[in-house]
């Protein structure tokens, strides 16, 4: 399994955007991302460092592998 780095929400949003996910809503605490054709939404917490468990869950919900996500950073 690829190592998951500690990253901030801006890099997380940018990485998911490279896979076609778009920001649907921006709140004070979360950024909600959607992708056409995908039933899931991604709710990225607006933290300076996104928790690794949360990030792992977001990657899984997006249908990506950790290696694919890390390569997009």
pLDDT at position 1 over 80:
no
pLDDT at position 67 over 70:
yes
pTM score? 0.91
pLDDT tens sequence across 45-59: 999 999 999 999 999
Nearest to 42 by CA among 15, 68, 67: 15
Percent residues over pLDDT 70 in the chain: 97
Domains for the chain: give ranges and CATH numbers.
9-72 (3.30.920.30)
Tokens, residue 38: 């995908």
Those residues with Cβ within 8 angstroms of residue 30's Cβ, 6 or more apart along the chain or in another chain: 43, 44, 45, 46
Secondary structure E strands in 29-73: 30-34, 42-45
């Amino acid at each position: 399994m690829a190592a998951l780095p500690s990253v901030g929400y801006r890099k997380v949003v940018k990485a998911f955007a490279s896979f076609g996910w778009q920001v649907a809503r921006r709140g004070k605490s979360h950024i909600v991302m959607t992708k056409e054709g995908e039933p899931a939404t991604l709710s990225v917490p607006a933290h300076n460092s996104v928790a690794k468990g949360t990030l792992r869950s977001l990657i899984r919900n997006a249908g990506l592998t950790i290696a694919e996500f890390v390569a997009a950073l």
